[in-house]
Each structure stands twice: as structure tokens, then as C-alpha cells.
Amino acid sequence: MINIRFPEYLRGKYQIMQIDRILYPIYTLGPGERLVLWTVGCSIRCYKCSNPELWEKNTAKNIEIENLGNLIKQAITGKKIDGITIIGGDPLEQIEELSKLLPHLNDITDDILLFTGYKYEDIKSLEKWQQIKDYISVLIDEPYIDELNDNKCVLRGSTNQNIIYLKNGFKEKYESYLSKGRLVQNVFYKDKMISVGIHNLERKANAACVPS
């Protein structure tokens, strides 16, 4: 397990982008062995969000983007990588910064999966979205609604969320992954165990996702 730790001199020196953690390999947030980045900051604040610790912006999580891109490339050199997932927090609350990071990530893979709590219909005409849309292969949109968590989908916390293919050629890869149902991966992070993935509600039984 790679946990990309940022050198302290890169933290807080430049107020460029806020990233909490980066882990590899993760199997539970997209198909294959993936690098996953958790961004900081979300003003949507869904009831029972699984990452409320990432809601508040935090300058202690600042990282300079050029250095971040290089750090990631160095860390995964020689490793098998099937894709990158960006989750948060809400990554689109740093869309300007994301537009600078994505070219670095696209040097590594063309499979970039992005989670957002915003509706695709509301963001797709934004000028800033135009700067990043060509880098995103698959988008999961809309906020998490606890009452709509049906324990079915590995990538969708609640049934209102949509799996949107923004690039051709990814549907088959993702749909075979979606048939697995919910997956959770336990990893050590900062000397404690964390669970990575979309979690089941205990009140409901597990089942496979049927893509709409």
C-alpha cells in the first residue's frame, strides 16, 4: 500500500490545492488497481456523508500542484495502474485547481473517475467545467441521500446518483465492475485502519448493482 506523504516543506507554503490523502492500490472506488485522491472542502454536507472530516477547508492541507503532480508520478513509477479516482470532499469545489492537476494525472492514465455532489445538468454548461471535462472518463454526480441507499452499487451511494460516461470506451470496463455489488477495503492510514469504499446500510441486505 502506498500512502503518498507530502514533505512538510510543501505543506502550507503555497496555497494552491487542498488534498487530504492519496492511496494506492485501491480496488473499491473504480475498476482495477487505482490511485485515489481525497480533496478537502464540501459545502453540500449530505446527511450521513462518509467523509465529514473533509467538509471544512483546511490550509494545513495545502499542496503546490506542480509538485503534487511530480510526487504522484514518482510514487507510482513502475506500478500497474488501471485508473485514478478523485473523491472528497467535493473535488469540484476546487475546480480551478483541479484543472491544473488533471493534465498531470492524464499523463498517467486516461481513466479518471470523478465524484461530485453537484448535478451534471447544473455544471455542464459552466465555463470552468469546460476546462476539465475532457480529462474525466466517468462522472458520478448528485449528493448522497441516505434514504435512497439501497446497498446495491459499488460506485453509487444512493439511487439518485448517476454514472455518466463522458468518454467512449469505458462502459464495458465499468459495467463488469458494477456487477460486483458493494466493496469495502480496509487499509492502514496514519497508524489506524480506515475503510475505503461505498458502505452498506446495515438495515438492508447486499445486492449487485443493475446499471440504469
Interface with ligand SF4 by CB under 6 A: which residues? 42, 44-46, 49, 51, 88-90, 117, 143-144
What residue number has its CB nearest to ligand SF4? 117
Please, which residue, 86 or 108, has the CB nearer to ligand SF4? 86
Torsion of CA 129, 46, 59, 29, to 10 degrees: -70
- Give yes or no for a contact between 12 and 110, defined as CB atoms under 8 angstroms apart: no
Start-to-end Cα distance in the chain: 34
- 3-class DSSP state of 90: coil
Residue 54, C-alpha cell as written in the block: 473533509
Please, which residue, 76 or 138, has the CB nearer to ligand SF4? 138
CA distance 23 to 36: 5
Please, which residue, 119 or 173, has the CB nearer to ligand SF4? 119
- Residue in 126, 161, 152 with CA at minimum distance from that of residue 46: 161
Q: How far is the CB of 153 from ligand SF4 (least distance, A)?
A: 14
Please, which residue, 49 or 139, has the CB nearer to ligand SF4? 49
- Give yes or no for a contact between 113 and 30, defined as CB atoms under 8 angstroms apart: yes
Torsion of CA 93, 109, 199, 161, to 10 degrees: 60
Q: How far is the CB of 47 from ligand SF4 (least distance, A)?
A: 9
Q: How many residues does the chain have?
A: 212
- Give yes or no for a contact between 153 and 30, defined as CB atoms under 8 angstroms apart: no
Residue 169, C-alpha cell as written in the block: 470506451
Q: How far is the CB of 141 from ligand SF4 (least distance, A)?
A: 10
Q: How far is the CB of 48 from ligand SF4 (least distance, A)?
A: 8
Q: How far is the CB of 70 from ligand SF4 (least distance, A)?
A: 27
Please, which residue, 49 or 84, has the CB nearer to ligand SF4? 49
Please, which residue, 45 or 73, has the CB nearer to ligand SF4? 45
Q: How far is the CB of 110 from ligand SF4 (least distance, A)?
A: 24
